[in-house]
Amino acid sequence: MALKNYTSQISANRSISWIEAKLASSGARQILKTYDPEGRVEGIAFIIPINGTSMSFKLPAQVDACEAVLKSSVRRPTETTYKRIKEQSERTAWKIVADWLDAQMAMIELSQVEFLQVFMAYLYSHNQQKTFYQIAKEKGFQKLLPEAVVKGVD
């Protein structure tokens, strides 16, 4: 299987704690966990000042999508297998978010990219309860792109 961290034994709570610590040490002023109906953490929202403006972001862990990928690789599933996959998908999804955040923060610290450049898709609208990416997807991405990108540059 090519899925990163699909055998991770690091608990989701440990990855989430690491993410919170990394965000705090990187300047986040508020950090909030959001939960799904089953009581699992589904995202981490945080506020960080950028050029004097407090901006909200939300990093999701797509646990259900991870679970679907893991289930698709099982040839003869049993109830026990599905239970283990459900637990593993949470560990894997959050470990991937932690690894991604670690890499992005390293690039920011080395001045390879700016914070907003990396996190723009995760800008969060509290009023709409959606990220910038989700809003852009609903409205159609073409409306946001510069004309040269939409038409193609000759």
Q: Are strands 53-60 and 41-50 parallel, antiparallel or unpaired?
A: antiparallel
3-class DSSP state of 112? coil
Q: Dihedral sign, CA of 72, 73, 77, 80?
A: negative
Q: Using an 8 Å Cβ cutoff, are 91 and 10 in contact?
A: yes
Q: What angle do CA 48, 53, 57 make, to 5 degrees?
A: 40
Asked if residue 124 lies in contact with residue 58, where contact means CB atoms within 8 angstroms, the answer is yes
> Long-range contacts for 142-147 (Cβ within 8 Å, ≥24 apart)?
none
Q: pTM to 2 decimals? A: 0.85
- CA–CA gap between residue 55 and residue 50 (Å, rounded): 7
The residue ranges of every structural domain in the chain are: 12-122, 127-154
Q: Long-range contacts made by residues 28-35, C-beta under 8 angstroms, separation at least 24?
A: 29/54, 34/58
pLDDT tens, N- to C-terminus, the chain (154 residues): 466 656 567 888 999 999 999 999 999 999 999 998 989 899 999 999 999 999 999 999 999 998 888 888 888 878 888 888 888 889 999 999 999 999 999 999 999 999 999 999 999 999 999 999 999 888 887 777 776 555 655 5
